[in-house]
Structure 1
Amino acid sequence: MRSAQTVAEHPEPARGRLHRLNLVTLLPLLTATGVLIVAMDSRTWWHAVVLGLGVAAALVAFVRWAAGDISRVALPCLAVAAPVWPLGALLMESGTAFFGITVVGTHVIPQLRRRRVAAAVGLSGFVAAVGVAKLLTAAGYESGDLIRYLIVPVGVTAAATGLMFPNKRFYDVVADLEESREREAELAVVRERVRFASDLHDIQGHTLHVVKLKIALAQKLLRSDIGRAEEELREVHALVADTITQTKELAYAQRRLNLSAELENAKNLFEAVGIRVHVDRRAGLDSHAGELLGQVLRETTTNILRHAQAQQVWITLSESGITVINDGAPDTPLPELHGLATLRERVADNGGELTVEQKDERFLTAATFPDLRPDAAPDPRKADR
């Protein structure tokens, strides 16, 4: 059997898209906050350098977290960001120098495999200890200093760390759903292979059984009825030749198919992996056209299951043909489609046309027979929901 050809390369996983969304939306905010901290709290050039290092560590940690590999920079970023807070608070009179260690810590801690709660408590304790040290070493402080160096830094750090734990859990759930979807898609493909094996067994199993009986009969007739034995052998030869033809047709998706059965099978396969299916069956087709369209639908179904991250599929049957559209296709160059190319030739030989298009994150496969109906196939997005 021909393996399904790629109709669309794997689009970016949902977890990756979420990380990228966070990067696009939050990185400018973090950058602006860091620049503002450096501008407001720096009184000398070395103040700007120290605070800038903390901001840089925070931005690097956030960018690598968005890329999904913060573990590579966790220790360097912590080593750079951690001293900035005590230096800023004790020597530079900066109440915002905790920015770097808070951003780095809140993104690193949820990624730890164990003792995450202890690490979160330790981070808040470190921020608090620096604040207390600042208050104790100051010649005199007002209530505003308590808020600036202790309450605000500890509160922001604890709140940010607490919010990152459900955020991490959310990403884990998304990852589990993606893995489940992949397993369901593979299972659907396995079911399709089992169905192919069943078809192959139907073709060859029956033939081999009949051949065995006829050869046994021919052996018995060799001495008593040569003419009858020759006739049996001729039938065996014809039966084997017909089986070879049917096997080739099955291997190249050219065996006669029932369009209604293929439509129901495709709908069941898509729904099994959580893909919404919209079917609009507006007219029937003649049997020969239906066989070709069934082959197109089977090939398209297999491609979507194996190579797309579709959420919805629209299938439209009209008097002139079939149109299948799926979403989840990336905006990349169209790959070579060997399986559909073979079907395109067969459809063309029978007066039809097979169209394949990729646009606006949608992939379209349409097979039409203009002689059956002159107007174009309808838009499947108007299908019944």
Structure 2
Amino acid sequence: MPEHTEPTRRRLRKLNLIMLVPPLAVGGAAVVVADSRTWWDAVILASGVIAALVAFERWTARDLPRFAPVCLIITAAVWPLGVLMIDSARASYGLALVGSLVVPYLKRYRAAAAVGLVGYVAAVGATRLLVSSEGVSDVLLQYVVLPAGAVAVITGLMFPNKRFYDVVEELQESRRREAELAVIRERVRFASDLHDIQGHTLHVVKLKIALARKLVRSDADRVDNELREIYALVSDTINQTKELAYAQRRLNLSAELENAKNLFEAAGIRVRIRREAEVDPRAGELLGQVLRETTTNILRHAQASQVEITVSRSGITVVNDGAPLTPLPELRGLATLRERVAGNAGELTVEQTDGRFLTAATFPHPGPGAGTETRAETP
């Protein structure tokens, strides 16, 4: 079961339990009270109602298959007892509920199972003719047509309900894949930048080494100059690679805002960006790094549906919903950034409350060091 679908499933389960269990329980209690003449009648009818409620509760928990056989046997037994012994035309209440839950979730032969369920209810109801002195039309209406019709309608309604839950899961799976794709795109961008830095350098180094080999015996001074240039070029490439690895290579907050917007939209997340003022240039690069790290964390750890980014002259605030109710694992990237932000007279705030996650970085008095090399370690 993908972890990204769990929050949605929990919300749907809670909604079903709150909205449907009370009326189902009241309806079952009404059947027991109205049709029971003895304690034995009440026990039989109540067992069918309880089995139905158990089946429904397990259905909301996606665990019905384990309990379906027992619940079906109990409710299927209550119906003939109700027809032949208790004179209860409503004894099919539990079977109607359990059967309608089970049939649509069968992997095969669902139509045949639905027909068989309705046929069983009708056939058992017809046996009332063997013990009743009532008119045939009255018996058929009360014990055959109405119970079988109710089962058929309820079961039929559960098929689109099943499709609804399938669509919800498909949407959740699609969203998860979009988030993974967004992270992959970020990795591809990193790989492209790395190729730009090192590909050109290695090609130039190769040409200079080839030239130095030709001149090693005829022009020592030229060879020495070429080696100096190679050394300087490699040193510069090492520095650029470090800057890229630390996510500080030509980091621009405006570009990071656009990149974050594209990543969130690709993952199906609504994003709102408010720019209250232009960012102080001395803090812009470090704030851009905070935004990049926060974007990665939201895509990897949250089940967000919306993100709000607020930019002021010396700070940035990112708020997203969909945060898990349990504490997140240590976000090492943000921990590293907190130290760097504090080292530049700033403050990095991280808060997780009521399913919302806030990340805020502020520089009341941006220092000259803001935006220098900062390590970004993805958690």
CA contact (8 A) 2:4 2:303 kept: yes
- Taking structure 1 as reference, are residues 181 and 11 closer, same or farther at Cα in structure 2, changes over 3 Å only? closer
Which TM-score applies when normalising by structure 1?
0.88
Structure 1 gap ranges (5+):
1-8, 374-385
**Conserved? CA contact 1:20–1:67, under 8 Å:** no
- C-alpha change, 1:39 and 1:66, in structure 2 (3 Å) is same
Q: CA RMSD in A?
A: 2.2
The residue identity in structure 2 corresponding to 1:349 is: G
| Cα displacement (A) at 1:325 | 0.9
Q: Which amino acid aligns with 1:138?
A: S
Q: 2:291 aligns with which of 293, 297, 315?
A: 297
Q: Distance in 2 between matches of 1:80 and 1:243?
A: 75
Supply the distance in 2 between the matched residues of 1:168 and 1:217 (Cα, whole angstroms).
Answer: 72
Residues 72-91 of structure 1: matches in 2 within 5 Å?
72-91=66-85
Cα distance, 1:14 vs structure 2: 2.2
Equivalent residue, structure 1, for 2:91: 97
User: CA deviation digits over 1:236-257, x for unaligned, max 9?
Assistant: 2233233223323322333331
Kindly indicate whether the alpha-carbon contact (under 8 Å) linking 2:302 and 2:324 is maintained by their aligned counterparts in 1.
no
Give the letter aligned to residue 58 of structure 2: R
**Aligned counterpart in structure 2 of residue 35 of structure 1, from 29, 38, 60:** 29
Kindly indicate whether the alpha-carbon contact (under 8 Å) linking 1:58 and 1:101 is maintained by their aligned counterparts in 2. yes
Instruction: Work out the percentage of aligned pairs sharing the same amino acid.
Output: 69
Letter in 1 for 2:80: P
Instruction: Check 1:11–1:120 CA distance in 2 against 1; reply closer, same or farther (3 A cut).
Output: closer
1:125: Cα distance to partner? 1.7
Q: Residues 1-385 of structure 1 correspond to what in structure 2 (within 5 A)?
A: 10=4, 12-141=6-135, 145-372=139-366
Q: CA deviation at 1:342?
A: 1.4
Q: Secondary structure at the match of 2:89?
A: coil
Give CA deviations for 1:14-61 in whole Å, capped at 9, x if unaligned.
244213311232122222332333333233333233222212221221
Cα distance, 1:140 vs structure 2:
2.6
What TM-score comes out, normalization by structure 2 length?
0.89
Q: Distance in 2 between matches of 1:171 and 1:22?
A: 12
Distance across 2 between alignment mates of 1:210 and 1:341 = 39
Distance 2:18 2:94 in 1: 19
CA distance in 2 between partners of 1:194 and 1:325 (Å): 26
**C-alpha separation between the residues in 2 aligned to 1:337 and 1:64?**
36
**RCO comparison, higher one (Cα < 8 Å, 6+):** 1
Partner AA of 1:255 in structure 2 = R
Name which of structure 1's ranges 74-83 and 98-107 shifts more when overlaid on structure 2: 74-83
Q: 1:117 to 1:16 in 2, by over 3 A?
A: farther
CA distance in structure 2 between the aligned counterparts of 1:249 and 1:72, rounded to whole angstroms: 56
Distance 1:187 1:256 in 2: 24
Amino acid at match of 1:190: I
- TM-superposed deviation, 1:288: 3.6
CA contact (8 A) 1:315 1:325 kept: yes
Higher mean C-alpha displacement, 55-64 vs 38-47: 38-47
**Closer, same or farther in 2 for the Cα pair 1:320/1:18, shift >3 Å?**
same
SS across alignment from 2:309: strand
Once residues 140 and 266 of structure 1 are traced to their aligned partners in structure 2, the CA distance between those partners, rounded to angstroms, is 74
Do 1:11 and 1:329's aligned partners in 2 also have CA atoms closer than 8 Å? no
- Once the two structures are overlaid, the 10-residue window that deviates more, 45-54 or 317-326, is 45-54
- 2 CA distance for matches of 1:349 and 1:210? 38
CA distance in 1 between counterparts of 2:75 and 2:246 reads 62
Q: Is the 8 A contact 2:4 2:172 kept in 1?
A: no
* Aligned residue-pair number: 365
Distance 2:340 2:248 in 1: 9
Q: Is the 8 A contact 2:278 2:312 kept in 1?
A: yes
